[in-house]
Structures are given as structure tokens and as C-alpha cells.
A and B are shown apart, each in its own frame.
Chain A
Amino acid sequence: DTGVSQDPRHKITKRGQNVTFRCDPISEHNRLYWYRQTLGQGPEFLTYFQNEAQLEKSRLLSDRFSAERPKGSFSTLEIQRTEQGDSAMYLCASSLAGAGYTFGSGTRLTVV
């Protein structure tokens, strides 16, 4: 598989529940990014990793969001105590530094 894989593709959760998403990047890529996209908007930066180090986290990201990339391979994004405003498409991308991004198909989260 040469693409970026995300799991699950869809997640419906009740408000207040915790959810976790997984991203498997292209193995040769040392950078991994999480973005969020809502209808009619461009992708909004959340956080990114270079290898296993989390280098930057958006100031817009609340403390309910956390991401990990153990051993510099796959990454997880967890949202605690979900709110209806968290409903969005969560996109993962990977790249080599300074190169174009390869995006996964995303995880669509619906909070009811």
C-alpha cells in the first residue's frame, strides 16, 4: 500500500464520549499532519510530527485534543468529551519535509 490510510472512515458518537482516530502514513515520509475540514472550508491545521516528535500544535486546539505518534510510525488523534462543534472531517497527511502532502481519505466525525 503506497497511500495514507485512516481508520475509521466514519464515526458517530454521542456528545461527551471520547473518540480515537488512527492514521498510517506513507512509510518513507518523516512528517505527519492532522487537519480538520468542515463544509465549504479549507483544511485547518491541528498538529504535526516529524518522526516521533510533535513539533507544533494549533493554538485553536483545545486541551481535549491529543495526538501521538509512537516510534514515528502510525499516529492517533484522540478527542475527549466530544462536543457537537467537533463534527468535521479529520484529515491526516504525510510528506517529506518541504514536499507536497499526501492526504488520507479522512475520518468523518458526527457528534450527536
Chain B
Amino acid sequence: GQQVMQIPQYQHVQEGEDFTTYCNSSTTLSNIQWYKQRPGGHPVFLIQLVKSGEVKKQKRLTFQFGEAKKNSSLHITATQTTDVGTYFCAGPRNSGNTPLVFGKGTRLSVIA
């Protein structure tokens, strides 16, 4: 079945440094979504990307969907302690609007 892989598994950065997490799918995706889970919390939806090569920005966060629609990235500029958490990417299990398969996530720690 469809698999979603994320790297790195962990990332420790100094506050103010940039951070990037990468997501790769074994199959072409109709869309990809990103979620953030704070320690002790539940996943919170950040964004959905649909078009090949799409780039979207949310303040210091930049999301990109690959041209082949099999990979994606999340880049955070000048990290802050509020960015701490685990970032998950997720894509539909099959074609269309089927339930999401989540990656294992990238856990971000920010050292003040």
C-alpha cells in the first residue's frame, strides 16, 4: 500500500536557525497535507497542497509540492520556541478523497 516517509526523524536547532523537513510518497498523490502536533497535543491541520510545483507560505512557514506530486517539503525560517512539535505530512491512501496516510513525522526541538 501507499507509504509516506519523512526525514529527518528528529531535528534540534538553535532559536533563529532555519528548519526543513522532507516528505516522500511511494505513489503519486492527488494532494498532500501538513499537520503540527505540539507535545501532549493532537495534530492540527496546517495546509493542503494540490497542484504540481505548488508553493504556499504562512508567515515563516513555506510549503512546497514537488513537480511529480510525490514529494513535499516544509521550511521554517528563523525558528522560534513556539515552533516546537512534530510535523506530519499526509496523503490519501488511494486516489481521490480517501483517508490520509500519515508519515512518522519530524520532531523539532528549538533551543533558546
Contact = CB atoms under 8 A, between A and B. Distances in A.
Interface string B88-110: 10100100011111111100000
B93 A45 contact: yes
Interface residues on B, range: 20 to 34
Contacts of B98: 56
A105 B42 contact: yes
A85 interface: no
A24 B51 CA distance: 32
Contacts of A105: 41-42
Given A102-B45, A104-B42, A42 B104 contact: yes
Contact of B42 (A33, A41, A99, A103): A103
A105 B105 CA distance: 18
Contacts, number: 45
B72 interface: no
Interface residues of A, number: 21
B42 A42 contact: no
Contacts of B44: 103
A17 B102 CA distance: 30
B48 interface: yes
B94 to A, nearest CB: 9
Given A104-B42, A105-B42, A98 B97 contact: yes
6 contacts: A42-B103, A42-B105, A43-B88, A100-B45, A101-B43, A105-B42
Interface of B: 31, 33, 35, 41-45, 47-48, 88, 90, 93, 97-105
